[in-house]
């Protein structure tokens, strides 16, 4: 579209000063339009790329840790169990159970009076009971425990008795709150007597 105003021609939005005197040598003067014309290569105005970026995906929720197995699970019993909450001048009775079913009993250090001294065999869990078969077992039978000259307790009379294929059923139960607090860690009763986990490695019974 072309319009003429006082010596100026407006062509497509651009004002051009027309040459005077018809055939003048001067070149037409280009006057910028008040309204800028956008370049063809420029993108149309719009929101910045950052404004339209996809939001970061939310992290996957973390599953809560699985609860520790209880005494009705075989893996709970694997390790060395000690019949005292702490080790004093010597060890109390210890029981070791392996995941492959092996079993070992070790009597207390410096035992006195009748009772089991050692045992080896196998074990398995049935409900809340331990089924133990000892292919080798040593018990001290007879006699009694007396105080020696040095003040230490010693056996008077009695003898060691060896046996094979001795089967026993060990009943398990939860420890009381006081028993748990006295030793810390895992605690369970074996035939009514509290035992505390000394080690998760059953081989540790040989090194103690």
Q: How confident is the model at residue 102 (pLDDT cuts 50, 70, 90)?
A: very high
Q: Assess whether 88 and 143 both reside in one domain.
A: yes
pLDDT of residue 87: 86
Residue 113 pLDDT more than 60? yes
Predicted TM-score (pTM) of this structure? 0.65
Q: Assess whether 30 and 82 both reside in one domain.
A: no
CATH of the domain at 175: 2.40.128
Q: Which domain holds residue 162?
A: 74-207
Task: State how many domains the chain has.
Answer: 2
Task: Considering only residues 205 and 34, tell me which one the structure prediction assigns the higher pLDDT.
Answer: 205
Q: For residues 74-95, give the mean pLDDT.
A: 93
Q: pLDDT tens digit string along 13-64?
A: 444 444 444 444 555 555 555 555 556 555 555 555 555 566 777 777 776 6
Q: For residues 108-121, give the mean pLDDT.
A: 89
Q: For residues 171-189, give the mean pLDDT.
A: 92
Q: Tokens 């973390």 identify what position?
A: 62
Who's near 74: CB < 8 A, 6+ residues apart?
99, 124, 125
Query: CA-CA distance, 4 to 41, in Å (whole number)?
Result: 30
First-to-final CA distance of the chain: 106
Q: Assess whether 89 and 24 both reside in one domain.
A: no
């Amino acid at each position: 579209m072309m319009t003429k105003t006082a010596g100026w021609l407006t062509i497509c939005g651009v004002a051009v000063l027309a040459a005077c005197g018809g055939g003048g040598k001067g070149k037409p003067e280009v006057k910028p339009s008040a309204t800028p014309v956008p370049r063809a290569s420029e993108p149309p105005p719009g929101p910045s790329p950052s404004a339209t970026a996809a939001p970061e995906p939310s992290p996957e929720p973390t599953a809560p840790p699985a609860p520790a197995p209880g005494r009705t699970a075989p893996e709970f019993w694997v390790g060395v169990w000690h019949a005292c909450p702490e080790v004093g001048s010597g060890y109390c009775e210890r029981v070791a159970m392996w995941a492959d079913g092996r079993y070992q009993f070790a009597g207390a250090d410096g035992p006195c009076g009748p009772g089991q001294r050692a045992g080896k065999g196998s074990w398995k869990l049935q409900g809340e009971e331990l089924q133990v078969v000892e292919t080798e077992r040593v018990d001290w039978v007879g006699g009694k425990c007396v105080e020696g000259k040095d003040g230490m307790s010693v056996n008077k009379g009695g003898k060691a008795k060896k046996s094979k294929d001795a089967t026993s059923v060990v009943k398990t139960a939860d420890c009381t709150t006081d028993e748990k607090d006295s030793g810390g860690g895992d605690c369970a009763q074996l035939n009514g007597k509290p035992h505390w986990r000394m080690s998760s490695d059953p081989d540790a019974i040989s090194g103690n």
